[in-house]
Structure 1
């Protein structure tokens, strides 16, 4: 069994206590913060689930979680596990399933920010490769403000094979790239079963990932015919791309 770790941040801990309270072991609360309404809610959640409460000095919290951004609460809990790949079999049966694929996103802050946006934009699951990808660390949980707990995050051994299986299930795979044959993202039909791939900021998608795409798209930006996807932080680009998916689907629903 994975070694317990220390989660920090109000929203990350609230989500953990809501979605997997049995994994929570001990809650450390900064002395003097007990009157804070958010902290009180977390304390109540913890007590309702039999989690022990331990008043602690601020500096001790920082030492426990390795960050000063704990907001007065640190939760000793079992780590979040990646979801089983088999869950995709159920997800792809949905008429408008939306999957976000993160290819070689290794920075925990970018990964967490992408997860936060994914939940906000109605993504059904996030897929990432087993290697050359960020893990589900407490930093990812904090940056995602709890989103990491709210949807399946699936780690696959062979991304190209996973994409092939999605395509066999009727999912249309879009990759973001600056290739000459890429089209503006707003010109693509994103209203059906969709998988959207975002590559790393430096290298973009890997060759096999690119070859697995049904269509390549880019985000147009002012002053440049093809924009410059790599000039955007990957989490910002992810937000812009998913917003376009959401925009198209909302418009299609209104027109139906």
Structure 2
């Protein structure tokens, strides 16, 4: 019978037992040691209280701990002209130096920004293969404003804000910021979740205007829109099946928030319910809807036109 064999090597020494006899290797002692105090609920990312925390001024979860690189000669020069925060200018060795390169190096040197020469393969690696044309600008993580700061901006006109509901393409975000600045908006409001943030792509598309126009983050977009409505702003959402078309947008001369929906599904149900009106853009039959950034530009141009007309009356 197994275990009872009298053959040599099959018998257990007297006084021994199965399992470890020397010790547990300290495992039992470690199991008794504490792991420190449990973090507070608002300090644990998986806890609901963590997600309920208000957005801190100048710091949000959209910020990244690493720097970003803006690639391309025109975007780099435009950002340097706009005096966006930057920490280094990378120039490829042997670059064909045209006027843009010369201006970029001069602007960086005048601002005390480090100018670093690197090989083209190294610049390819730093920019993740982007079309850099031998020039890239390193910028720190974007610092978002607080929603309350947007109304503090003085433009000489009734407040005009642009709120984005789920716009996830950073190129659309950058283009919307550029249009908002061009047509006199006070700032842009983003939701904390399900939205693009200010990355190098958004910086590039905005052509540096993200440094001039406040961009804020709302913990809960619907709640923030209702708060703005309580302060006297009218909330108008862009929607293909709007309650009015752009020719009827008499609200343009009032304190206004223009809400832009996501590229695919448009406005979410709760955001739509928070709107005082929805507006559509008339288009020729058989033409697909405009993307978020183009639609925003059309509406903001109409708002600016109506405000200019009212100012001449």
- Fold shared per TM-score above 0.5: yes
The answer to whether the 8 Å contact 2:240/2:289 transfers is no
Q: Does 1:210 align with 2:243?
A: no
The structural deviation recorded for 1:20 is: 5.5
Report the TM-score, using the length of structure 1 for normalisation. Answer: 0.87
Match of 2:102 in 1: 40
Match of 2:37 in 1: none
Question: How do 1:85-234 and structure 2 match up within 5 A?
Answer: 85-91=147-153, 95-179=157-241, 182-189=243-250, 190-223=252-285, 231-234=289-292
Question: The residue matched to 2:102 in structure 1 has which SS?
Answer: helix
Match of 1:239 in 2: 297
- What are structure 2's unaligned runs of at least 5 residues? 1-63
C-alpha spacing 1:97/1:175, structure 2 compared with 1 (3 Å): same
The answer to whether the 8 Å contact 2:82/2:208 transfers is no
The structural deviation recorded for 1:112 is: 1.6
Q: Does 1:248 align with 2:309?
A: no
C-alpha distance in structure 1 between counterparts of 2:78 and 2:144, whole Å: 16
The structure whose Rg is larger is 2
C-alpha distance in structure 2 between counterparts of 1:92 and 1:27, whole Å: 33
Match of 1:26 in 2: 88
* CA deviation string 1:53-100 (max 9, x = no partner): 112233332221124322321122312121122303414896422111
The structural deviation recorded for 1:197 is: 0.6
Question: The residue matched to 2:253 in structure 1 has which SS?
Answer: coil
Superposition CA RMSD, Å: 2.4
* CA deviation string 1:7-43 (max 9, x = no partner): 223454345445566x422211123446322222221
Higher helix share: 1
Report the TM-score, using the length of structure 2 for normalisation. Answer: 0.72
C-alpha distance in structure 1 between counterparts of 2:201 and 2:129, whole Å: 9
The structural deviation recorded for 1:210 is: 0.6
Q: Does 1:9 align with 2:50?
A: no
Question: The residue matched to 2:108 in structure 1 has which SS?
Answer: helix
C-alpha distance in structure 1 between counterparts of 2:75 and 2:145, whole Å: 18
Higher strand share: 1
Of 127-136 and 55-64, the range deviating more from structure 2: 55-64
The answer to whether the 8 Å contact 1:127/1:155 transfers is yes
